[in-house]
Amino acid sequence: MRDAIIGPRAASVSANEPTNLPGVLHAAWLIARKDLAIEFRTRTAFFSSIVFALLGLTIFYFAWDPTAVAAVDIAPGVLWVIFTFSGLLGLQRSFGVEQADGAMDALLAAPVDREAIYLGKALANVLFVAGVQAIALPALALFYSVPLGGVWLPLAGIALLAAVGIVAVGTLFSAMAVNTRLAELLLPMLSLPFFLPIVTAAAQTTARLVAGRPAAEAWPWLRILLGFDLVFVVACAVAFPYTLDE
């Protein structure tokens, strides 16, 4: 079964692809590549997410009294709220693109494991969110005069950990929300409570990094982030097949 995971159309995509990857991961990679190809050719969600993030950063700047609080103090919180909301824009689309022409049914008919569909979608979403972050982070440094010079590498690590957590839960809920009557409303409503530990941990760690505090202060927060990623990547991958029709 595992060797037959590649359908006729996918076969042409994967012609020059190394096939030594384990079946599930390989299938997941193909699905992620399909989603990224769609996104790359249309660029609608990615572009609007970036504009949304930049707009959000700008509007937040004018939403508090700059003589009372320094921009650099409010920056980590603003950053993580904006990341979360712009991430939701991308997640909304993740299963939305499969709605047209019964594409989801075709995907389910393909002889791949259900977990591979989830992992592929999640992988594409992580790359999507990371792409938005890669542009929003320098923008934050510019707009809020945050000195990111010395800490950009650990900050990128935290951003990636947070993106994995957001996407793990968000991908699953996106798959559920598209089939409901309240699709656009339901995804944030279900996801945001799950994002609280991520946003808190990431914002607290970012604040300590930017303030030049010792790394030991950030460690308890980092542990929450790591634990969340581990638990919810596994739990959501296991739960995903249950959200599909038998």
Partner 1 sequence: MTDRTDRTRMDWWLVAAVLAVVAAYARVIWFTPAEATQGLAQKIYYLHLPAALNAYIAFAVVAVTSVVYLWLKDPRADRLAESSAEVGLLFTTVVLTTGPIWGKPVWGTWWTWDARLTLTLFLWFIYAGYLVLRGAVTEPGMRARYSAVLGILGALLIPFIHMSVYLFRTLHPMPIVLKPDRPSLPPEMLQTLMLSFAAFFFTYVVLTRARFGLAVQRAELAMREGSSDGER
Site for partner 1, rule CB under 8 A: 169, 172, 176, 179-182, 186, 189-190, 192-194, 196-197, 200-201, 204, 220-221, 224, 227-228, 231-232, 235-236, 239, 242-243, 245
How far apart are CB 54 and partner 1 at their closest, in Å?
Answer: 28
How far apart are CB 202 and partner 1 at their closest, in Å?
Answer: 11
- Give CA–CA dist 77/144, Å, rounded: 12
How far apart are CB 59 and partner 1 at their closest, in Å?
Answer: 24
CB nearer to partner 1: give 147 or 220: 220
CB nearer to partner 1: give 138 or 227: 227
- Give CA–CA dist 153/18, Å, rounded: 31
How far apart are CB 209 and partner 1 at their closest, in Å?
Answer: 16
CB nearer to partner 1: give 182 or 216: 182
- Give CA–CA dist 96/125, Å, rounded: 13
- Give CA–CA dist 176/240, Å, rounded: 9
How far apart are CB 230 and partner 1 at their closest, in Å?
Answer: 11
- Give CA–CA dist 213/228, Å, rounded: 24
Angle at the Cα of 175 (from 117 to 180), degrees rounded to 5? Answer: 155
C-alpha 94, offset from chain centre:
10
User: Taking a C-beta distance cutoff of 8 angstroms, is the pair 218, 205 a contact?
Assistant: yes
Half-sphere exposure of 191 (CA within 13 A, CB side): 29
